[in-house]
Amino acid sequence: MLNFESDYLEGAHEKILARLVETNQEKLSGYGRDKYSASAIDKIRQATLCPEAEIYFISGGTLTNALVIASLLKKYEGVIAPETGHITTHETGAIEFSGHKVLSLPQTNGKISAEQIREYLEQFWTDDNREFMVFPGMVYLSHPTEYGTLYSQEELKMISAVCQQYKIPLFLDGARLGYGLVSPESDLSLPQIAEYCDVFYIGGTKVGALLGEAIVFTKKNTPDYFIAHMKQQGALLAKGRLLGLQFDTLFTNQLYFQISQHAIDMAMRLKQGLLAKNYRFYLDSPTNQQFVILENKQMEELKRQVAFSFWEKYDEQHTVIRFATSWATKQTEIDELLALL
């Protein structure tokens, strides 16, 4: 059966597996002190054009978000996020578990704007009773967003400026960052992301790794004793090599970008094919997640032959579904899917 349910259906890129096998017998120090982690850090510093970047590898996205947010915020602070942000909706209160409120703002196409953020901050700081409210201590964005959309360079730059003005860090969740960077509609490079954001993470789990995300602190702003924070939140793997080696591989010879490009090529092939067949999209996504509005009956039929994600009810007769491509999607799979639709 065809399967477009998510971008983490397969294991890892074959080069990653090959290197795991190749280095398996080496005795290496634990907790990220191994040479492959060091090498991965070097390569990410180069790829971000940010030589002073401080980089840590974590097993998954929720833990990464919880860790970055809890370690950077003061106890009375919360994090501004779009109402559709992953931390706002789909992490079972992981942020609140660590004591912090997610301050949600209305979204448009999964995004929030510099203007919205500025207004929120301005209103907060001019309110005489602000000590009765949660202090906005950080801004969280996803890029690509949960709807596959992208911030433009201008948008991110302006959000960054607001954050700087109010002296709060800008944190970008890049669980699918590769798919955003190589999108035809992206005008944002990895170095620019490093420039505008105070901290972000480069997603591995959804982009070719078995597991792993790389947190990048870009302004010498890693919280004191971050390793202690990691250990306290259960985020410090004994065999850190497993994460280091994967990122080392992904950032060798542009592999991360190449495999991301493949996913986008597949998504665009699907999108063009659907447009040609007059399918309606819920919104215009330039990345590897495509949101299509199907009649309920057609959806039910399709289910028998294709796995996809239910996204949300559109109206009584229609449903929004999601097709996700990935680094591992085959062109024949796209063609078979299109043939069915």
| Among 109-117, 229-237, 271-279, 297-305, the segment contacting its own copies (CB under 8 A) | 229-237
Site string for its own copies, 290-329 (x = CB under 8 A): --------------------x-----------------x-
Among 51, 52, 75, 315, binds its own copies (CB under 8 A): 75
Query: Least Å distance between CB 21 and its own copies?
Result: 5
Specify the amino acid at residue 241.
Answer: R
Q: Report helix, strand and coil shares of the chain as percent, to nearest 5.
A: 40, 20, 40
Among residues 115 and 234, whose Cβ is nearest to its own copies? 234
Residue 198 structure tokens: 């105070």
| Among 149-157, 238-246, 268-276, 291-299, the segment contacting its own copies (CB under 8 A) | 238-246
CB atoms within 10 A of CB 30: 12
Sequence-separated (6 or more) residues with CB below 8 Å from residue 99: 70, 75
Please give the Cα distance from 262 to 26 (Å, whole number): 32
5 lies in the binding site for its own copies (CB under 8 A): yes
Among 40, 105, 207, 242, binds its own copies (CB under 8 A): 242
239 lies in the binding site for its own copies (CB under 8 A): yes
Among 135, 151, 196, 201, binds its own copies (CB under 8 A): 135
Residue with tokens 């039910």: 300
24 lies in the binding site for its own copies (CB under 8 A): yes
**In terms of C-beta density within 10 A (0-12 exposed, 13-18 middle, 19 or more buried), how is residue 213 classed?**
buried
38 lies in the binding site for its own copies (CB under 8 A): no
Spatial contact of 214 and 251, defined as CB atoms under 8 Å apart: no
Among 211, 283, 293, 338, binds its own copies (CB under 8 A): 211
Residue 177 structure tokens: 């960052």
Specify the amino acid at residue 193.
Answer: I
332 lies in the binding site for its own copies (CB under 8 A): no
Query: Least Å distance between CB 265 and its own copies?
Result: 19
70 lies in the binding site for its own copies (CB under 8 A): yes
Sequence-separated (6 or more) residues with CB below 8 Å from residue 274: 281, 290, 292, 338, 341
Footprint of its own copies on 159-188 (CB under 8 A): none
Query: Least Å distance between CB 131 and its own copies?
Result: 4
